[in-house]
Chains A and B, each alone.
Chain A
Amino acid sequence: MRYSALSILKNGLFGNKGWKPAWRTPAPKPHYDVVIVGGGGHGLATAYYLAKEFGITNVAVVEKGYVGSGNVGRNTTIIRSNYLLQGNNPFYELSMKLWEGLEQDFNFNAMVSQRGVLNLYHSDAQRDAYTRRGNAMRLHGVDADLLDREAVRAILPFLDFDNARFPIQGGLLQKRGGTVRHDAVAWGYARGADLRGVDILQNCEVTGIRQSQGRVLGVETTRGFIGCNKLALAAAGNSSRVAEMAGLKLPMESHVLQAFVSEGLKPFIDGVVTFGAGHFYVSQSDKGGLVFGGDIDGYNSYAQRGNLATVEHVAEAGKAMIPALSRIRVLRSWGGVMDMSMDGSPIIDRTPIDNLYLNAGWCYGGFKATPASGFCFAHLIARDLPQTTASAFRLDRFERGYLLDEKGQGAQPNLH
């Protein structure tokens, strides 16, 4: 069923009784060509592109909860391609390009909204770091603008320019950055994949990986054994646990990141702004809530909830950046569990086990990567060759010393 203004009109006139489920609820088949673990953005996008771009449709996505119950449904929805390193930037720009045509592609309005991402700087050193970054972007043909203080003031006059502990000196702006409606991404990919024959199996937790002679045979799940020719892991915050079922130990830790939404407000702030003198970033959803967040809590966690101290830190930085936030009330806080990798960059690679593929380590930045991650992972699964822009995301880079460390923090995940 195609979505359009016309279909809304037609259905509206008949009591909205004619709508069909966005995706089916099939029973698991005994065997698939490809089984993807994780019905988050990446798993669903992988299934979608496997079917659409690589013609592999005998695919199941197994999800332990409901579609989008993981980080795709709990992130702060920021998309951008302002990466520094050669191993990263082209990949994220590919993702941005895919976002730009996504909705028409999968016939679902995910509200891809390029209202700009502005990173503030407060010191010469930060300015220089942003200059380096902005130039890396420009070199790859990505839009980037370095704004001075007055240019920032012109866009956001209500930031604290005059009484700040760390005065704002300027900012790096990516105009094509912005936000996307998180849930709609999961739903759009799920619907798109389902239409092409992919089985989406909700409430189906993978509890074991059956192997024989160095090959994966399939997965044990709460809904029985499901066989497959190829097994693809896209379990975001639970990657270590799933990989462990295959005997792999990964270079990552699971950490909790909190996010927040305020009460609904009339338009307050248009694009995304990040504070350079503390941990805070904010945007306003199309529904009117200010969606914001800060740094990770800093300790290993699988609990999907955070700590009051972090809440306070975030609010402090928020009010320091925008004094007018003072009387705005925060409605809800929640947490998401992400795999924080040892260099802050992701992994899309084969594993030492022949037909086992890994997509993991997205830290707090994998939402923006969703389309490219799905596309590149599908490419790897289908062709057994990395897609060029994702060729640096190797699993053995730690052992071999080819790290992708944008922040230079080293092998301590909670510092990335």
Chain B
Amino acid sequence: MTSYRLSQGGLIDRARPLSFSFDGKPMSGFAGDSLASALLANGQRLMGRSFKYHRPRGVLTAGAAEPNALMTIGKGGRTEPNTRATLQELYDGLTARSQNRWPSLDFDIGALNGLLSPFLSAGFYYKTFMWPAAFWEKLYEPFIRKAAGLGEAAKESDPDSFEKCWAHCDLLVIGAGATGLAAALTAGRAGARVILVDEQAELGGSLLSETATIGGVPAAQFAREATAELEALPNVRTLARTTAFGRYDGNVFGAVERVQKHVATPQVGRPVERLWRIVAGRALLATGAEERPLVFGGNDIPGVMMAGAARSYLNRTAVAPARQMAIFTTNDSGYALARDLEACGVALTAIIDSRPEGAAPGLYKGQARILTDALVRDAHGGKSLSAITIARQGRTETLRLDGLAVSGGFSPVIHLACHRGDKPVWSDAQGAFLAEDRKGLALAGAAAGLSGLAACYEAGARKAVALLDQLGIAATAGSVPTVEGDIVAPATKPLWSIPGIRGKAFIDFQNDVHRADLALAVREGYAHVELAKRYTTNGMATDQGKLSNVNAIGLLAEARGVSPAEVGTTTFRPFYTPVSFGALAGSSHGKHFQPVRQSPLHGWAKKNGARFVETGLWYRSAWFPRTGETTWRESVDREVRTVREAAGLCDVSMLGKIEITGKDAALFLDRVYCNGFANLPVGKARYGLMLREDGFIYDDGTTSRLAEDRFFMTTTTAYAAGVLNHLEFCAQALWPELDVRLASVTDQWAQMAIAGPLARTILQEIVDEDISNEAFPFLGARAVSLFNGALKGRLFRISFSGELAYELAVPAGYGESVADALMEIGKPKGLCAYGVEALSVLRIEKGHVTHNEINGTVVPADLGFGRMVSAKKADFIGKHMLAREGLTAGNRHQLVGVVPLDPAASFRTGAHILAKGAAATLENSLGHVSSSCYSPHVGSTIGLALVRAGSSRHGEEVMIWNGLRGEYTPGRLCDPVFIDPENAKLKI
């Protein structure tokens, strides 16, 4: 055991012990521990295996950048692979498993890859595995795929819930360290609406790991007091456990709150994660700085750790990372750790300071040996650090120890400032990339390159004042509380390469990118920072290069002999840390993926035994099986026959319905339909074709004139929303001078088709007015009184089925009752309910088209509607593109009917049409079957098809080709109207 729990100190709650397990081993920790600190406290320093070489790895950081200590936690549908042990709070019963090792973490066969590493250099796979060609998919790739990846995801669904939320504020503060707290306090006290987010379990940032005092109290206590004050302000919202993951246009930030990721069993009714979309007037990044590792041999051996992380484990969770430590630093911050280690009684062998001049005089008062102008060249050990080799003034020295803390300087955390494309700027003075303040967003504190608690506090307050000032909100910065015991670490010159390294010196720990890989990338011409990234995979692991990118840039700069400024960074992109699908999806999945839209006749259909089918957001009644009917076809055939012989009732409420009023309504319709509407008499309906501006048919439907200045339009179900948008476009953007007003009334009316020879007889029983053929002829449309004046409805004499038919619209709330009444009246006469399946058969028999035929590539003439296109009108939408050669050519696909030669044979929609005897090639395809069904009327399968020059091919024998199903049906093209071509039935 090397790491261990200190007997006192820390912010953990020793009164609340928690038990958990790692790789099945029971362990214990305390409330306030992270999984990583608890593992360390249990002496478990080996926490994972690397991606490629399966190197043993321990925890390197105490935060979001952790590349090594990734584990799988949870069980079943709650399994979470690749969880950062550093950010996972410990809870009672937590189960954690290590990843990417076999058979065990301790003994991992994959580690043999390390021996092959000369042959597994960056990009080696692009150069081999090509022969024999067939081996790639059979052998090489499956092997590579098995080896790749880290954790294993569960295949079960998640039992917990997720949600989303919007929030608005004047000032969003991201990061709740000294800087962020100062900003939030300043803005909050001024009455501004503030949101303060921090990814940690508790607000305070590095204050929670700090031993300095602020305003006379320990830093952590100061943070807690500040938090309490903020939480008491009604205009401030504090969100701990919340990571701002992305900055989007309009200063909208995405953030994810881990609401219940720190509990064993989430409470039902509350989400486990919540996605916040924060609309920020102004935002302040107080996200701190990331400490940079140093690139020496064996820098990945468990026991090597970032100095700041070591401080955090020591001070915040009272864990000593090792028994015998050394510190390798390029700056003064290492001395803060030295002081704290000694205060905690951890042996400190040496401080290896790369600077010739060492630390500022008087900064360090401890006992450790100080080696200036010295470098750690190599670390040694297998699964645990055992020694380091130091190079100093040409000599080397080996120190035996079990812990090494490193600090290679700091990289401000500027990700969010760069998500909208802003490029960071290299600062030689800071030895780091900095982001500039932009409209809507500023950076402060360590995120802006500052060091020192007092300076950060002051900057946070000052920037908050400035940002609020831009919004016209007055605030004052107040005075900075006195800070004592802070070791301020001014920026120092970065140390990129260390000479004489023997072992592997890692840059990207998780992806196992080491120094030689970068050198190879440069040698092979992949020296551009983006190419080097892609060729070596540096920065592409789950930590997205938080620790590795700047070191890689520094090394590339050295190799290319240019400055880091010239190399530049790769692109910062969301997500700052990875975000779950669950959080991004919220509650929209499973049955709740999309809302349900319900017809007012849904209840009626259900009572009548309907089978439903999803159509867009609607559930439509598809057919109504009766006892004894075993297949859907039996029911549909019966429904079709009943309509043709007696009558049927069908729910057509989901057709789009648009009310059009205003004195120019008729003129407007004349412009949006290709056929004429201005002359439509009051009381009449007309079928209309609506084109797109490019001349192709957009939608069809009937429109009725209810009054001089009032029309009622129906659209297809699928295009209802689109047609209204389109009409509004025409009315508002094209012809605002017209007085035309549009309202969707789809939901206002329950609409039912009553079709069949007995339709009138049945309907007349509830309609007060005379609806005889004379009084109410085909295409009549009028308001009617129902049930002796009890209700007002609208009646349209239109027919999709080819039978005598009506569509009756009644106020939706009465729909079910009216349908019930009609069923009751009609039943003795043979009336049945019919669904969309029968509706479809009826319309195919009649040769009526739907969006199967109106597929966005047909013009009116293709469907036999050529004569509907008004030649008289000077203008209508689509008129001006119709004359193009390709739209008038004789060999266009045109609507035809198709039947099998053998009535017993059948075919399906989607089959292609080939000329009889033609070879089965795509060039020979004449078209396809767009709709098909079994027609009880014809006594065989029938279809509608779009076939080249189809209208002149009636009678031609063809092959109906469906290779996909192995069905090849000889057939004949014919007129698309299979029933009552003279339309006699419509007019009785």
Contact = CB atoms under 8 A, between A and B. Distances in A.
A107 interface: yes
B153 A183 contact: no
Contacts of A405: 856-857
A409 B857 CA distance: 8
Contact of A403 (B162, B164, B254, B857): B857
A160 B590 contact: yes
B591 interface: yes
A165 B531 contact: no
B910 A128 contact: yes
A307 B590 contact: no
6 contacts: A3-B126, A3-B130, A66-B531, A268-B153, A330-B575, A333-B574
Contact of B962 (A89, A131, A266): A131
Contacts of B124: 8
A397 B694 CA distance: 13
Contacts of B571: 334
A212 interface: no
A21 B881 CA distance: 54
Contact of A327 (B80, B149, B613, B857): B80
A38 to B, nearest CB: 17
A401 B155 contact: no
A193 B434 CA distance: 39
B157 A66 contact: no
Contacts of A129: 910
Q: Which of the listed residues A7, A284, A320, A397 has the most CB atoms from chain B within 10 Å of its own CB?
A: A320
Contacts of B277: 308
Contacts of B694: 410-411
Nearest to B587: A316
A329 interface: yes
A266 B151 contact: yes
B152 interface: yes
A305 B137 contact: no
Interface stretch (A40-48, A134-142, A219-227): A134-142
B136 interface: yes
A294 to B, nearest CB: 11
B274 to A, nearest CB: 13
Given A308-B277, A324-B77, A409-B856, A113 B137 contact: yes
B243 to A, nearest CB: 11
Given A22-B524, A139-B961, A330-B578, A316 B910 contact: no
Given A109-B127, A320-B593, 13 more contacts: A13-B118, A111-B136, A111-B141, A139-B912, A165-B614, A305-B573, A312-B275, A312-B586, A320-B589, A324-B157, A400-B884, A401-B881, A402-B885
A61 interface: no
A366 to B, nearest CB: 20
A112 B136 contact: yes
A130 B118 contact: no
Contacts of A127: 910
A103 B520 contact: no
Interface in A25-81: 25, 65-69, 73
Contacts of B157: 160, 163, 323-324, 326
Contacts of B516: 15-16
A308 B126 contact: no
A125 interface: yes
B909 A21 contact: no
B149 A165 contact: no
A135 B910 contact: yes
A19 B154 CA distance: 42
Contact of A22 (B77, B525, B591, B924): B525
Nearest to B531: A66
A109 B544 contact: no
Contact of A305 (B254, B420, B588): B420
Interface in A255-269: 262-268
B963 interface: yes
A222 B262 CA distance: 55
B575 A89 contact: no
Q: Which among B162, B908, B964 has the greatest number of chain A C-beta atoms within 10 A?
A: B964
B398 to A, nearest CB: 25
Contacts of A101: 133
A336 B440 CA distance: 25
B138 to A, nearest CB: 11
Interface stretch (B388-396, B534-542, B603-611): B534-542
Interface in A273-311: 277-278, 284-288, 303-305, 307-308, 311
Contacts of A69: 530
Contact of B591 (A122, A165, A187): A165
B912 A132 contact: yes
Contacts of A23: 525
Nearest to B584: A315
A265 B589 contact: no
B908 A265 contact: no
Interface size class of A (residues with CB under 8 A): 35 or more
A123 B616 CA distance: 10
A131 B149 contact: no
A286 B155 CA distance: 19
Contact of A86 (B248, B520, B925, B964): B925
A401 B126 contact: no
A164 B590 contact: yes
| Best-buried of B585, B920, B963 by chain A (most CB within 10 Å) | B585
A285 B534 CA distance: 14
A332 B145 CA distance: 20
Interface in A162-184: 163-167, 181, 183-184
A118 to B, nearest CB: 15
Given A123-B613, A183-B534, A266-B151, A305 B119 contact: no
B911 interface: yes
Contact of A331 (B130, B148, B575, B615): B575
Contacts of B537: 287
A383 interface: no
B580 A328 contact: yes
A213 interface: no
A139 B580 contact: no
A109 B130 contact: yes
A311 to B, nearest CB: 6
Contacts of B614: 122-123, 165-167
Given A21-B525, A308-B246, A324-B156, A135 B118 contact: no
B961 to A, nearest CB: 7
B526 to A, nearest CB: 7
B82 A264 contact: yes
B867 interface: no
A113 B852 contact: no
Contacts of B615: 123
A67 B615 CA distance: 46
A153 interface: no
A115 interface: yes
A4 B127 CA distance: 6
Contacts of B923: 86
A136 B922 contact: yes
Contacts of B889: 401
A109 B910 contact: no
A109 B118 contact: no
A158 B908 CA distance: 30
A330 B584 contact: yes
Nearest to B854: A408
A3 B128 contact: yes
A108 B581 contact: no
A116 to B, nearest CB: 11
Contact of B580 (A110, A115, A285, A329): A329
Contacts of B97: none
Contact of B154 (A108, A317, A327, A411): A327
Interface in B922-956: 922-925, 928
A341 interface: no
B158 interface: yes
Given A15-B118, A113-B136, A410-B694, A138 B575 contact: no
